[in-house]
Amino acid sequence: MNSPIVITGMGIISPLGCGVKPAWENLTAGHSGVGFIDRFDTRDFPIKVAGQVPGIANHPDGFNPESVAEKKELKKLDLFTLYALAAAQEALEQANWFPKLESDQRATATIIATGIGGLPTITQAQQTLFSRGYKRLSPFTAPAFLANMAAGNLSIKYGFQGPLGCPVTACAASLQAIGDGMRLIRTGEAKVALVGGTEGCIDPLSLASFHAMKALSTEKDQPAKASRPFDAARDGFVMGEGAGLLVIETLDHAQARGVVPLATLSGYGTSADAYHITSGREDGSGAAAAITAALKMAALSSTDINYINAHATSTSVGDRAEIASLRNVFGADLHEIPISSTKSATGHLLGAAGGIESIFTALAVMHDVLPPTINLDNVDDAMENLDFVPTTARPHTVRHALCNGFGFGGVNASVLLSKA
């Protein structure tokens, strides 16, 4: 039971493209996946930009829903489930995990997080209810919008009969899904776990709701510049969408079936701020507790960390609180540790953020390359002495890396990834 937990498969659907390889190449090339919203008319709407997953019709690595579900089934599934199906397909193929024995199926957990679930299905159903009456609602409305349906549909499709779960813990959800999967493997309740998160809520209601909080960027002219973590000119986060899923198992289990591990999940920690529904503690103590717990599980010290993929959403309050938490843990050494925010390129994927960002962090470990923080022209005055890997990716030896995810309600989660 002490065998290290490793990643053997990864799958991404993102604003930077669909598939781990193109998403990573676009990220490290400094490209942005943020653009003008084309899902609905924004002429009289305050939010103009988002990190939309590109479609196959206008992007070589775009999303094709018919690749994961038959046309007649598409109307029964919300977008967040479709994204999860696509990311899972890639991850499971890489891991070569399609168990046929019932014992293996029962040993496979499916833990897929989301922050909002099927909100577009809910808003569309509400419009149907008001305009056409209750008799016109589809019987698949509730099964489409329930938050656990990404996990449920994946379990059904692949016959995974082990533990099934769905953390719905805002922007920490994906990392908690990874942590839950690690625990299930450690307790022996599962031998393999499909974990991560998915989100598909670029919808007028969700955008208007976050806008009412003054949390979103109101950029109207240069969408690719809208997401700018740590920059003095940042004006809020950019809504993103997509899915990031991983197949995890012990090293012993992977080797026994002849699969090469990609990276090691060496530590996990989670905590609650018990402070405020939307803002983290200014001193960062709650988030620091999650990071410290992850270090303890991994039996690592703060000086072992070579890279930090920050939660950093591009809000002034959030970015500063996270840096405070990092100062709590790393102290005077923080200026020597490269920190970047891949949200600068993707926007903030809410419940899917940690899934995609943990994969990006694993790739940094695998390839010894630091993804950049794009759009960082003038660092916030309170952070001038820190290395945010501005604008351009660069080579850097990464043995151990930290990935953070913090969410509304005061939830904090951190994962440590190490070389396999």
Active site residue ranges: 171, 311, 348
Contact indicator for 388, 369 with CB cutoff of 8 Å: no
In 3-state terms, what secondary structure has residue 119?
Answer: helix
Both ends of the chain: CA-CA distance in Å? Answer: 17
- Cα separation, 164 vs 161, in Å, equals 8
- Cα separation, 313 vs 237, in Å, equals 6
Interhelix angle 20-28/353-367, rounded to 10 degrees, is 70
- Cα separation, 414 vs 416, in Å, equals 7
Contact indicator for 119, 205 with CB cutoff of 8 Å: yes
- Cα separation, 3 vs 99, in Å, equals 21
Q: Which ranges constitute the DSSP H helices of 244-312?
A: 251-256, 285-298
> Nearest CA to 361 among 319, 298, 417?
417
Residue that has been written with the tokens 């959800």 in this structure: 173
